Amino acid sequence: MKLQKILNRLQRLHPKEIDLSLDRIKNICKRLGNPQDKLKVITVVGTNGKYSTIQAIFAILKEANIKCNIYTSPHIKIINERFVYNNQELCDNELASLFEDIENANNNEPITFFEILTAAYFLKASQYPNNINLVETGLFHRFDATNILKNNLASIITSIGVDHLDWLPKNKQTVENIIFEKTSSLLNSNIIVAKQSNKEITDCIKKTISNNGSNKIFHNENYSFTIKENDFFYYEDQFGGIKLPMPNVKGQFQLENISTAIATLRIIKDHEIKDKHIQKGITKINSIARLQEIKSGKLKELVKYNQLLVDGSHNPLGAKVLNEYLESLNCNKHIILGMMANKDHNEYMSYFRNVSSLTTIDIPNQPNSIKGKELKNKINRFKNINYKAGIEEAISSIPVEENDIILITGSLYLAGEVLNLN
């Protein structure tokens, strides 16, 4: 209750949810003694794969007994997920105390909620100067609150695509401008570029970072992976190759994220990451709402022996890699879909093929989501499309046969509601 009261106060400090500027975050961090200057950081920018790449790095570092602090957004179930120190989420009382410190330092001045969260993360992280910090940037990087670091260990550029266009001016709503916003102000250290959806995006990234003096590592040029028979894959870079077991997360896109994580850790000096740490770590990745199978709980009971998956993808690039996974399965696929209003709903669904049924729903507790009935009318090209108000009703309405799967997707906010309900 105390934590929620503080959160409610902090959310009223600025009329806008997002106000792209670095002035407020710099001011409050200066009052706090610039805690961000005391950290060892791996920064992760991009459109898709940021969270999964961070979780892969985290799993490997834990095997090497290297402690981490982690800052990600948004949270899926509870806000504590965003604040990991010494490999553990902060409890409610610790988080409330941390927010009180930031609230006092801010002295009731206008500041966005995300800026408050970022200042809080930096302050607490400075208490663990020897830990590696894994920091996910928010909407864009250039004016993101996390972009006040003076140096870092590495910058990772995950897959970049079209998303959040409504935050760009009308004449700049292109993938080229998204790439500029995300990559033009990266620090001079190491830059690791993940696999992109096409050569044009990779070339645009190269052009944007051409004047950056960092050591640059590109997928398929400096590191790569190949899928082998007998349930393993092979990773290779300038330091040699590693035979790796298949990870405990689903989808080829996760192999891409994992390979980027490995490339990053092998290029950073002063941290001895051995092959055995990588081999064990990638089988212990904790990935919430990224092709996550729900194996027990209230919602699982509704589907009995059928597989129930939840995935928070919400943009065309996410839909593309999600459908690639679905196409690899020899079964009927039933999709339950809920999305935010500002997404390109038709573009998102255009990537899905061979869907046995599609059920649109309302996302609970999200006033900025599109109503399920309206979403159904917008994407009515699907033959077997239905609307149900709630998650449980939607699951129960699907006439599944043996080996059919049900996938709930379209929004991280929906994924959170699903996991909390389960």
Q: Which domain CATH number covers 305?
A: 3.90.190.20
Average pLDDT over residues 220-237: 93
Residues 386/380, Cβ–Cβ less than 8 Å: no
User: Quick one: 141 exposed, middle or buried, by C-beta within 10 A (0-12, 13-18, 19+)?
Assistant: buried
Q: What is the pLDDT of residue 163?
A: 65
> How deeply is 352 buried, as exposed, middle or buried, from its count of CB atoms within 10 A (0-12, 13-18, 19+)?
buried
Residue where the block lists tokens 């690899």: 328
132 and 62 together in one domain? yes
The closest of 286, 297, 283 to 422, measured between CA atoms, is: 297
Q: Do 328 and 404 belong to one domain?
A: yes
Q: How many helical (H) and strand (E) elements, i.e. helices and strands, does the chain have?
A: 15, 17
What's the pLDDT band for 164 if we cut at 50, 70, 90?
low
pLDDT value at 16 more than 80: no
Structural domain harbouring 352: 292-421
pLDDT at 170 over 90: no
What's residue 357's pLDDT?
96
What mean pLDDT is predicted for residues 223-238?
Answer: 93
Helix H or strand E segment including 5:
helix 2-10
Query: How far, in Å, CA of 142 to CA of 268, rounded?
Result: 24
Looking at the fold, whether 253 and 387 belong to one and the same domain comes out as: no
Residues 305 and 210 in one domain: no
Phi, psi angle pair for 221, to nearest 5° = -105, -45
Give a yes or no: residue 262 inside a domain: yes
Same domain, 236 and 324: no
Q: What is the rounded CA–CA span in Å between residue 373 and residue 341?
A: 12
Cross-strand partners of 310: 292, 408
The pLDDT value recorded for residue 308 is 98
Of 246, 281, 316, the one marking the end of a domain is 281
- The DSSP-derived string for 349-365 is HTT--S-SEEEE-PPTT
Q: What is the pLDDT of residues 306-358, one digit of tens each?
A: 999 999 999 999 999 999 999 999 999 999 999 999 999 999 999 998 999 99
pLDDT of residue 3: 92
Question: Which of 189, 153, 148, 186 is CA-nearest to residue 36?
Answer: 148
| 104, 90 Cβ separation under 8 angstroms | no
pLDDT at 270: 77
Confidence of residue 140 (pLDDT cuts 50, 70, 90): confident
Q: Which two three-digit tokens encode residue 409?
A: 């997707």
Q: Mark whether 22 and 55 lie in a shared domain.
A: yes
pLDDT per residue as tens digits for the range 268-311: 977 889 999 999 999 999 999 999 999 999 999 999 999 999 99
CB atoms within 10 A of CB 185: 17
Q: What's the total number of domains in the chain?
A: 2
* CA distance linking residue 210 with residue 240, whole number of Å: 27
Report DSSP letters for 74-101, one per residue.
Answer: S-SS-GGGG-EETTEEPPHHHHHHHHHH
Least confident among 28-32, 83-87, 135-139, 320-324? 135-139
Is the pLDDT confidence value at 229 over 90? no
Give me the CATH number covering residue 115. 3.40.1190.10
pLDDT higher than 70, residue 168: no
- 137 and 19 in one domain? yes
With tokens 């009927």, the residue in question is 332
pTM of the model: 0.95
Q: What is the pLDDT of residue 25?
A: 96
To which H or E segment does residue 208 belong?
helix 199-208
Using the 8-state DSSP alphabet, how is residue 382 labeled? S
Residues 322 and 202 in one domain: no
Final residue before a domain boundary, out of 256, 281, 306: 281
pLDDT, tens digit, 9 for 90 and up, residues 108-127: 999 999 999 999 999 999 99
Look-up of token digits 């709402």:
289
Whole-number mean pLDDT of the chain?
Answer: 94
The closest alpha carbon to 53, from 131, 155, 177, belongs to 155
Within a domain: residue 287? no
Q: Are residues 231 and 350 in the same domain?
A: no
What per-residue confidence (pLDDT) applies to 381? 84
- 53 domain residue, yes or no: yes
With respect to residue 84, please indicate whether it lies within any of the assigned structural domains. Answer: yes
Q: Last residue of some domain: 247, 281, 315?
A: 281
At 167, list the tokens: 């935050």
Average pLDDT estimate for 195-212? 96
**357 and 380 housed in the same domain:** yes
Please write the tens of the pLDDT for every residue from 41-82.
999 999 999 999 999 999 999 999 999 999 999 999 999 999
- Ramachandran region, residue 74 (left: φ > 0; alpha: ψ -120 to 50; beta: rest): beta
CA 406 to chain centre: 22
Q: Given a cut of 70, is residue 9 above it in pLDDT?
A: yes
Listed in order, strand segments (DSSP E) in 152-239 are: 154-157, 190-193, 215-218, 223-228, 232-237
Does any domain span residue 286? no
What does the pLDDT read at residue 247? 97
What pLDDT score does 209 carry? 98
Does one domain contain both 346 and 307?
Answer: yes
Asked if 403 and 351 count as a contact pair (C-beta separation under 8 A), the reply is no
Answer yes or no: is pLDDT of 173 > 80.
no
Give yes or no: residues 138 and 204 share one domain.
Answer: yes
Q: In this structure, what DSSP letter does residue 219 have?
A: B
pLDDT at residue number 20: 75
